């Protein structure tokens, strides 16, 4: 019942990787910048689609509604690339990329090919598994597949024991851009992050309507078990003051949590006011509606990162939390009801716009 825009990441060589597998190849600083757009995207989606009218100002009434809500949060070009600096550890293949110049550089004459290979391996061992402050740039998770993420190595001197002579030797490794083999998720960058959920609403008790979203554990291909639960409440204060307004008005609160296996957990909360005005009859009507919400969202990531050290593979547990950029939103929409079927659409203006 959930549609994810990021279940699989296609690398430049054509192989598919899950988001968890991709994160395992990124250090903490790089991973934070890489996934940043989907944090705000999921947060904006989770806070969308909760209302299409205010509950009526009645003490008791039976108003039961079940449906499917489809949300989409839109991305801008600035969300499809990132550039940051941070701590990074090069693995064996990336260290080999940095040191391949040793094979042809005349500085290492008169070494033959096997002697140069031995020296290169010594320098690789000095590089891999150690912390370096580098620039990291390229596509975010929602960027272009061909825009590979690159680490900018600023150059450094390493003192190693030359395996050919047994003597200490300083090797100057020049600056270089190292491709990490990770790009965005598609040939064409995603215009929006979609999400879909079932939704149940019941009212009206003392002018109050309750809304529930729930998805039990479901298996998403190579992504883990997905669970989602959300709860909302709307209250029309007009139930206490009588029919003094020309429209229905309500105060609202919504909160929800979405988990994807052991990779991430997303939380979102919104509260505010919304209003609506029914035009027509109970079985055939148009209802324009609008709302203002104060919102927040966050996403916790947890994954295993493996350091490639000269003494072997060393697993590390990486954990971090990112906060969504949306703080407030203004929503406007239109609802159409024919008999027992209701269809509505709305648009929300915020840091990340959504529909």
Give per-residue pLDDT as tens, 87-105. 888 988 899 999 999 999 9
**Which pLDDT score is estimated for 213?**
97
DSSP state of 45: H
Contact 119, 101 (CB under 8 A): no
- Ordered DSSP codes for 168-195: EEEEEEPPEEEE-S---SBSS--SEEEE
Distance between CA atoms of residues 140 and 143, nearest Å: 5
Show Cβ contacts of residue 88 under 8 Å, excluding neighbours closer than 6 positions.
27, 29, 30, 131, 132, 133, 134, 136, 151
Structure tokens at 220: 């998403």
241 Cα distance to chain centroid = 44
Structure tokens at 33: 């910048």
**Which pLDDT score is estimated for 2?**
42
DSSP run (H or E) holding 42: helix 28-46
Longest dimension (CA), the chain: 96
Pairing of the two strands 176-179 and 192-205: unpaired
**Which pLDDT score is estimated for 346?**
98
DSSP state of 243: S
**Which pLDDT score is estimated for 225?**
79
Distance between CA atoms of residues 300 and 141, nearest Å: 16
Q: 């391949």: which residue's tokens?
A: 100
Q: Find the radius of gyration of the CA atoms of the chain.
A: 27
Contact 222, 195 (CB under 8 A): no
202 vs 14, 56, 207, 211, CA distance in Å?
48, 12, 11, 7
Regions in the chain scoring below 70 on pLDDT: 1-17, 189, 220-224
Residue 299 neighbours by CB distance under 10 Å: 25
Sheet holding 132-139, edge to edge: 81-88, 132-139, 150-153, 176-179
Contact 279, 286 (CB under 8 A): yes
Q: Is 323 helix (H, G, I), strand (E, B) or coil?
A: strand
Contact 60, 115 (CB under 8 A): no
Per DSSP, what are the bridge partners of residue 219? 225
Contact 284, 337 (CB under 8 A): yes
Bond before 204 cis per omega within 30 degrees: yes
Distance between CA atoms of residues 233 and 211, nearest Å: 6
Helices H / strands E in the chain, number of each: 5, 19
């Amino acid at each position: 019942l959930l549609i994810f825009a990021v279940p699989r990441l296609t690398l430049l060589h054509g192989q598919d990787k899950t988001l968890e597998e991709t994160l395992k190849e990124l250090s903490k600083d790089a991973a934070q910048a890489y996934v940043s757009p989907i944090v705000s995207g999921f947060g904006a989606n989770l806070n969308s689609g909760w209302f299409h009218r205010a509950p009526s100002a009645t003490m008791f009434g039976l108003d039961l509604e079940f449906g499917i809500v489809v949300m989409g949060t839109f991305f801008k070009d600035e969300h499809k690339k990132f550039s940051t600096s941070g701590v990074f550890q090069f693995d064996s293949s990336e260290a080999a990329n940095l040191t391949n110049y040793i094979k042809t550089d005349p500085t290492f004459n008169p070494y033959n090919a096997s002697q140069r290979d031995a020296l290169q391996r010594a320098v690789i061992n000095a590089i891999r598994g150690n912390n370096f402050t580098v620039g990291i740039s390229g596509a975010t998770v929602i960027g272009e597949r061909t825009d590979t993420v690159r680490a900018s190595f600023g150059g450094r001197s390493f003192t190693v024991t030359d395996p050919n002579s047994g003597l200490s030797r300083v090797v100057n490794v020049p600056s270089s851009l190292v491709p990490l083999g990770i790009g965005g998720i598609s040939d064409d960058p995603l215009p929006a992050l979609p999400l879909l959920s079932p939704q149940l609403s019941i009212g009206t008790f003392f002018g109050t309507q309750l809304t529930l979203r729930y998805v039990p554990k479901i298996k998403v291909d190579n992504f883990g078990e997905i669970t989602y639960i959300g709860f909302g409440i709307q209250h029309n204060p007009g139930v206490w003051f009588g029919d003094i307004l020309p429209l229905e008005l309500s105060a609202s609160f919504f909160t929800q949590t979405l988990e994807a296996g052991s990779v991430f957990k997303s939380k979102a909360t919104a509260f505010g006011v919304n209003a609506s005005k029914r035009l027509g009859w109970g079985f055939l009507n148009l209802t324009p509606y609008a709302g203002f919400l104060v919102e927040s969202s966050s996403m916790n990531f947890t994954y295993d990162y493996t350091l490639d050290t000269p003494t072997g593979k060393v697993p590390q547990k990486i954990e971090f939390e990112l906060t969504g950029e949306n703080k407030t939103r203004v929503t406007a929409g239109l609802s159409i009801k024919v008999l027992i079927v209701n269809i509505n659409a709305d648009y929300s203006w915020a840091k990340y716009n959504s529909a």
